[in-house]
Structure formats: C-alpha cells, structure tokens
Structure 1
Amino acid sequence: MREEILFEMKSPYRDSFKIKGFWFGEGEKTVAIVGAMRGDEIQQQYICARLVESLKDIERRGLLADDVSVLIIPSCNPFSMNVSHRFWAMDNTDINRMFPGYDKGETTQRIAAAIFEVLKNFKFGMQLASFYMPGDFVPHIRMLQTGFEDVEDAKLFGLPYVTTRKPLPFDTTLLNYNWQIWETKAFSIYAGQTNYVENATSAQTIDAILRFLQKVGVTSFKFRNAGYESIILDEGDLINVTARRAGIFYRLVGASATVEEGQALAKILDPYDASILDTVKAPVSGTVFFAHNKPLVLEHAMIYRIQEN
C-alpha cells in the first residue's frame, strides 16, 4: 500500500485541508473508490476505511493481480465533517456538483478539479453516495443513462437492485456523470444509510465491492458469497408516497420490508398532543425501496418509495 496526499490547501485557522489516497498494486489504473464527498457521509467514509483495511491484507497475502492498481479515497471533505456540516462549510456548495471542476475557480471547483485529475482514466469508478433526502435505502447500484452505463457489470456487485435513470441538466456536474463521459465505467453505491457505521448494510456493501473486485480479476481472494441476482429497474417506475400532513413521523415499516396494498406504513402525529393526523398506507403491494428516517416530516415531502410487485 502507498499513501499519498492527492490535494492540499493551506488554512489560516487550523491544519491544512488534505485529501488522502491509498494506492494498492502497481499496474494500470483499474478501480477507483471514492467515499465521503459531504460532511455527513460517515457511513461512506467508514466503508472506505474498512476497504483500505481489507485490501492491505489482500495485498500482503499476494492476492492482488500483478497488472492492476486500486485507489481508495475515504474522504474528499474532512473540513465539513469536522464541523458536522453536509456541504462545504464556508459557502454551502456541494463538491459533488462541481465536476469536472475548474482549477482557477471557487474553492469547491478547485477541489473537484484536483480530484478528477487523479480519477480520470480508471477502468472502473465507484462512489459511495448519499441521497438528497434523509432516509434508508435497500442497498443498490445507481447508474445514469449516458450511453456509457454498463448494467451487466453493475450486476457483478450482487446487491438487491441496480437502478437507472435519465440524467437531468444539473446531473452533468456529478462525478458519476463525468466519469462516464471520460469513458470510466462508473457506479454510484447507495449503502442504506448515511449517519450510521457498524450495521448490516455497511457489511453488505463492503462484501459487494470485494465481490466485484474478485469477479473482474483485480483480486484472487476467494469470495464464496454469491450475493443477489440483482433486479434491474428504472427509477421512474418506483411508486412515490408523500406526506399529506406535517408533524412527528412515527415509522412502522422500514426499507426492505414487503408490504401489501393498504398496509399502514407510518403515522404522522400532532407535535402538541400526539393525536394521529394521518395514517400513511401503502398504495400498492411491493418492497419498500426507500423510507424516510427523520423524526419530523413536512407536508408533501417524499416519505416512501415502493417497488411494485
């Protein structure tokens, strides 16, 4: 393993801002794995840290292929994580909306440019991503339909779902989109949560990435868990459930649950007397793909997404 400072920026108030990368192998640029891009993506950084630990052991045991190199970047935004702020703390901009970056632009544009200069030309790219709304997911691979997406390779992770969607204009500044435009096979991995670390979805995601590395020949590590036969779906086919009232969100059903049409999913309570303002019911039978996980909910906010049977 080789540790490298990929980008450094001096700070007048505290230690320098540094983005660290961990290299494994000495061959061509094969796989890049990027963790926390935002300050609340703790699970994403944790998963990358565990992968660094695993690949150190794999490399030490001589199970890494001779002609490959793997780069892991656990965090691209340690400043924001230090102050518990999701976006760049100084101006609230999102690094993951700045790609491919501009090395003479604003701070987050410069950070994105430095990161992307390193990440270009890898054969495979993985980003441990988070959703813009708080909630729990069924772990899955998400792909933008740019013409360069490879659904068959996405199935090699063995996660329950692979989702695709057409990119919107503002998606053109995402790392995933730009990776694909530069002809890297890019996968956004949604591990289930954001602010948690040691749980079943973290372990499932780590297993999925190691399984993928074995199946594409990066490692000869014997991984006997075959995972799932991934279901391919377009995100537009998911059934959205929105809140009809605002209040305290009392969840009855979480992500991955199988539900029947008309089943109670949650209750929305009055914050002053705990009376039931609304009972949220499943509009269809299927699997809960996404579930809101914060204690409060606003009217018209999305609280569930269901994959219909």
Structure 2
Amino acid sequence: MPSRPIAYLCLALSMSLVGSYVALSKPLAATFPVLLLAWMRFGIGGVAMLGWLRKPADEPALAPQTRALLFLQSLLGNFLFTVCMIYGVSLTSATSAGVIMACIPACVAVMSWLFLRERVNARTWVAVACAVLGIALFALAKPEQAAHAAASSASAQANLQWLGYLLLLCASVCEAAYSVIGKKLTASLGPKRITSLINLWGFALSTPFGLYLMRDFDFATVPWGMWLLLVLYALAACMWTVWLWMTGLRAVPAAQGGVFTVLLPVSAALVGVLALGERFTPLQLLAFGLALASVVLATLPSRLALRVGR
C-alpha cells in the first residue's frame, strides 16, 4: 500500500489527466463516431494491459459481489462516462465540461450519503446548491456566434447545447459512482487488476457498436496526428488514470479522494482555453467560480480532517 503523500500524488495526477483528455476528446469526436472511438479506446487499452489480467497468487478468487461491482464500475465509469462525456463535449465545449464536472465532489458526497450511509453535513448540501446554480448559469450563457446566427439556427444550436449539458451532467454522476465503487473494490483487488478488468468489460460493451460503425468508416482519411492522439488518449483514459486513481484510493478514504476531483474540471477548462482556443465569457467565469466554490465547500471538511489527523 502506498504512503499517504504518494497516494495524494497519484490521485492528483489521475484527475489532471482525466481533465486533459476530456478536453482533447473534442477533436477526436469530430474525426471518429463516438461509439467507434470508445471501442477503439478500450481495444488499445486492452492490448496495453494484457499482462495485468493475470490473477496474482495472493489475490482471492472473484466473489459474485465483486464481479457485479466490476461490471457496474465499468458500465458507469468506463462505458457510459466515455459516451456521455464525448458526446457532451462534442455538442458544447471543453470549458463547458470543466464547469459542469466541477459538481463531481458534491455528487460523491451525495452518493456516499445514499449508498454508504456516510454523514453529510450542511456545508456539503450548500456545495450541491452552488454546483447546480453554476451549471444553470453556464447553460444560460449564449455563445458569441449564436448572436449573429439566424433565429432558427440559434434555436437548434441552443437545443443541442442543452443536450450536451445534460450529457456532461450524466458523465459527472457516472464519474462519482466510479469513485465510490472503486473504493470498495480496492479492499479485495489490486489497482492493475481492477484497471484491466473494468477495461475488458468496457471493450465488451462497446464491441457491437464498434463493429457496426467500422464498416462504413473510411480509416484512410484519418491523419497520422489524429492516430497518435487516439493512442495517447486511450492509454491515458484506460490505463494510466485508472491505475493511478485505484492506487491512491488504497490508502485514502473515498471522501478525501473526492477532494482531488477538483483537478478534473480545472484541467479540462484550462486545456480548452490554452490548447483549443476557447475562452470564458463573463457569465461563464461567474458560473465557473460558483462551481469551484461548491468544490471548496464540499471538500473543506476533508481538508480539516487531514489537519487534525483523523
């Protein structure tokens, strides 16, 4: 089991990478059909982790409950998160993902209260309210180009954006569930084994869609730079981030792990602004500030707990 400082570093690196590939999935989603992209992602990750599938000699056999949790974690945290996140970013922007996914710590707190029967104080409920308000403000912020478009075109674009916001919110809930389930799995399985098994489930779930979509897709039109980005995206999304997250959760309680999800929306928004040429409007900056305020409110008790050594 890693020491606390190493565990914190693993969690921080994991969420920073997740936020980065959330933003960089936008050009990939413009090149590949989303479900084909998801299938190729899991396939590349699976090849890279073939050696991780072997059961260690000191690891117990998979119990039925563990098998169910592995499937559920892959369904929510791998398959549905990937589909909702990529579709959501393709319909909105990386900065949108950054703002909306800032509600993940609050989602983790609510799920801990509902499913793990953990006590959630009033400060966390205020954090949930701030996150919802931030999401609502961001959804009301119109992109600049919409003001110059025709009314019908602007209306259609607004409807697509609302769908994108809803998908990103669903992705946030899936990511929160992934964190809660992951903590339970680390009690019986090693990080590499969890990473490889949930990726295998993700590949199985996406294979029917991938095989269907690849028939009509012209792979020869994809530039080599996009293939390189796909490989890096697959390794980061399927292998590096999951292994780092599971390694950190072995030594850190789930509530403290939720602190580090703040790095997901921050890095996603920063990559969108710095690498993809996006920018914040004043209303979006206010929404982002509210979302980050929700993160501070939701995680402050955990930080205080760290200081007093609980």
TM-score exceeds 0.5: no
Structure with the bigger percentage of strand? 1
Give me the TM-score of the superposition, normalised by structure 1: 0.27
Which of structures 1 and 2 has the bigger CA Rg?
1
Give me the TM-score of the superposition, normalised by structure 2: 0.27
